[in-house]
Amino acid sequence: MKKLYALFLALGAFVSLSAQEKGIDFSGNVESHWGFAAPWTESETSAGRTTIGNTAVTGKLNAYCGNGSAYIEGTAGYEASQIFDTGFYAKLKEAWVDYSSGSWGFRIGRQKTAWGKADGIDITNIICPDDKSSVSAVVSDDDKLAIDALRVSYNKDSFTVDAYWIPFFTPTALPYKNIDFNKPEAAIWNSEYGLKISGYFSAFDVSLYGFYGWDSLPIMNYTPVYAVAPPPDPASPSGIYPDGIYERVLMIGADAAVPLGQTVLRFETAFFPDRHFQKKSSQIVQEKIIALATSLANGTPVEAVDASLTRNELSYLIGLDWMPSDWTITVQYFGKYVFGSLDELDRKNNYVHGATYNVSKKFMNELLELSVSGIIEFNEMDAVVMPSVSYSVSDEIKISGGAYLFIPGPSENGTYGVYKDYSSFFIKAEYNF
């Protein structure tokens, strides 16, 4: 409740200060989103139970005068689902100050930015981390977290340059509450940096990207735990202690979009030199047992064991958007290739590839919309299918319903198949003001 009070106190103070100036916009929405596990999921743990029980109010304040502006967006709500943590929450999604004069400008504060041309697949779009803290966060259209950054921009003719300094690291939000994730020390030498150079022309758009920072997903580390010390038999630990660490990452990327009438072709690629990849848990534990045994036998300090190995990675995407009349059709093919041996890594394939699709059609003067979207990974042939229907009761109120269906492949594994017991039907109501 203290977080909730502090959020609305900040919003109220912003309104009070901004009300003295011209150019103030206030908007937001109230949303209730409920989901229930499908009847064919595991009956003992999932079927019929709530996977989503989120009700939230979001407020947005935008004040502007002359060359300057300020923006605040905050959300407060209650998560009532049975699968993830329940209770009240409050989030300051964005809060920044912006100034521009002539060709130059800057924005400082908590802000979001989107890189790349891909839809729903991250190729170059790694500057803002994901929110994977709950089912409702993962399936949200707003599933990216803001970063605390200074952005300096230069605009001239058809070119734009955006440079980012990110002094505070924001990791991907994960649902695990009982695991320690050791974030980098908040220090200037641990800052992140980003650069985007874009050109906009009549025949095509193109952008170049560079990012040096921290991988937003942790590398998991596993340490054997012994009931006695020093252990009489290092090969027989009494348990395993998991924790996580974050590693540096460098990305160089590019994208392009080519409009062809009602069709748009999109291309995107990214290269990650010496990216850290997770070792197998069994490999980490075995190496630590050997290191401890060697230390006990020789009376020397225990040698450190790395939980990751570095490999070069290349990612790319080709997409097509077709928008005839009231239809919207999007198809994308993506691939990610890791060079080198996978023997010690927690990864089955050097090359992982798949496709996404989205088909929607509007009826009744755009009041009713039917859509189906999804993703399929070809390695394991597992998929996600998301059919939905929405109806605008008025300019302010929209109701919708549908499903999030996780479909396993023949091996019952895969990126999406492992979540088969989270397959859910949902209903949602929104009021926008």
Cross-strand partners of 278: 308
- Report the candidate in 285, 350, 344 with the shortest Cα–Cα distance to residue 313: 350
78 has which bridge partners? 55, 88
Give the strand pairing for 219-225 and 424-432.
Answer: unpaired
pLDDT digits (tens, 9 = 90+) for 198-247: 999 989 999 999 999 999 999 999 999 998 887 888 888 999 999 999 99
In a domain, 41, yes or no: yes
- How far apart CA 34 and CA 79 sit, in angstroms, is 10
Position 170 in a domain: no
Concatenated DSSP letters for 131-192? B-SSHHHHTSS--B--EEEEEEEEEETTEEEEEEEE-S--PPB-S-SSSEEEPPPSSGGG-E
Q: For residue 223, what pLDDT is reported?
A: 94
pLDDT confidence of residue 46: 84
Within-domain flag for 4: yes
What pLDDT is recorded for position 19? 46
* Domains: count for the chain: 2
Spatial CA neighbour of 134 closest among 193, 188, 85, 65: 85
Residue 117 lies inside a defined structural domain of this protein? no
pLDDT of residue 152: 98
- The rounded distance, in Å, linking the Cα atoms of 59 and 71 is 11
Point out which residues pair with 352 in neighbouring strands: 336
Q: Is residue 127 part of a domain?
A: no
Upstream peptide bond of 39 is cis (omega within 30 degrees of 0)? no
Contact, 1 vs 9, CB < 8 A? no
**Half-sphere exposure at residue 90, Cβ-oriented, CA atoms within 13 angstroms:** 12
pLDDT for res 25: 95
Q: Point out the domain boundary residue: 69, 86, 103.
A: 86
List the structure tokens of 310: 């570095």
**Global pTM exceeds 0.85:** yes
* CA-to-CA dists, residue 235 to 60, 114, 177, 310, angstroms: 57, 48, 29, 27
**Residue finishing a domain among 86, 107, 124:** 86
Contact 251, 124 (CB under 8 A): yes
Domain assignment present for residue 407? The answer is: yes
| Position 257 in a domain | no
- Interatomic CA distance for residues 72 and 20, integer angstroms: 17
Within a domain: 212: no
H helix intervals, 214-271: none
Domain housing 401 = 325-433
Q: What is the pLDDT of residue 1?
A: 46
Among 86, 118, 142, identify where a domain stops. 86
pLDDT in tens, 12-69: 544 444 444 579 999 999 999 999 999 998 877 788 888 899 999 999 999 999 899 9
Average pLDDT over the chain reads: 91
- CA–CA separation, 323 vs 361, rounded Å? 10
Whether 97 and 148 have beta carbons less than 8 Å apart is answered as no
Q: Give every residue of the chain whose pLDDT is below 50, as ranges.
A: 1, 4-5, 7-9, 11, 13-20
Rounded distance between C-alpha atoms, residue 181 and residue 185, angstroms: 12
